[in-house]
């Protein structure tokens, strides 16, 4: 089973714990092995068909860890652990997730929350275990389904009539005097 992006966060941080610069592709391969993903799971694409789901999840875990200051970019596609990330690994939590990362002000700013702890701006728009690309894919699929349903009804394809109604309107000219 492909893990959600939050489940990838701690293993990704531990992978970077060797203090070496890493390429995201190497991290994806190592973590896919660690999660014992099958070849099919490694190749399974997002609904958009543009990216492998697991690659996307590792990418979002990487982004979130960077926004919290636990990892940093060294150059395009490369990252390294920060001192803050190393400190986390000294006494690693059971898991790293969005709630855990909200202890860091930079992450709160990234998520669109106020520093006073008011509710997140995107709270009603996202699911905690869903990446933005997943949400776009879900929305895209819903739009396609809605459009397909409307076209099927409009063109009588794959539908049958179960009731018809006649709506009548009064002819106001009928009551006017000649």
Indicate the domain borders of the chain.
5-140
Residue appearing with tokens 């803050």: 84
pLDDT digits (tens, 9 = 90+) for 78-102: 999 999 999 999 999 999 999 999 9
The chain-wide mean pLDDT, for the chain, equals: 84
Angle between helices 53-67 and 5-16 (to 10 degrees): 70
**pTM assigned to the model:** 0.67
| Element at 100 (helix H, strand E) | helix 98-101
Residues present in the chain in total: 178
Residue appearing with tokens 């391969």: 29
pLDDT digits (tens, 9 = 90+) for 97-141: 999 999 999 999 888 843 444 433 333 334 455 667 766 776 777
In this predicted structure, what is the pLDDT of residue 88?
A: 98
CA 81 from chain center: how many Å? Answer: 23
How far, in Å, CA of 4 to CA of 126, rounded? 14
Is residue 22 over pLDDT 80?
Answer: yes
For the chain, what percent of residues have pLDDT higher than 70?
Answer: 83
How far, in Å, CA of 49 to CA of 32, rounded? 19
């Amino acid at each position: 089973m492909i893990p959600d992006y939050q489940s990838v966060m701690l293993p990704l941080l531990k992978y970077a714990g060797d203090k070496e610069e890493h390429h995201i592709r190497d991290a994806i391969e190592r973590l896919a092995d660690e999660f014992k993903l099958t070849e099919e799971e490694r190749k399974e694409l997002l609904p958009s068909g543009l990216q492998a789901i697991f690659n996307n999840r590792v990418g979002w875990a990487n982004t979130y860890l960077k926004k919290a200051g636990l990892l940093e970019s060294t150059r395009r596609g490369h990252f390294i652990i920060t001192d803050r990330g190393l400190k986390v690994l000294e006494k690693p939590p059971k898991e790293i997730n969005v709630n855990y990362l909200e202890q860091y002000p930079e992450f709160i700013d990234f998520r669109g929350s106020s520093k006073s702890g008011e509710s997140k701006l995107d709270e009603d728009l996202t699911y905690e275990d869903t990446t933005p690309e997943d949400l776009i894919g879900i929305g895209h699929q819903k739009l396609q389904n809605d459009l397909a349903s409307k076209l099927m009804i409009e063109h009588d394809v794959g539908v049958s009539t179960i009731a018809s109604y006649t709506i009548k309107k009064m002819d106001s000219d009928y009551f006017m005097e000649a």
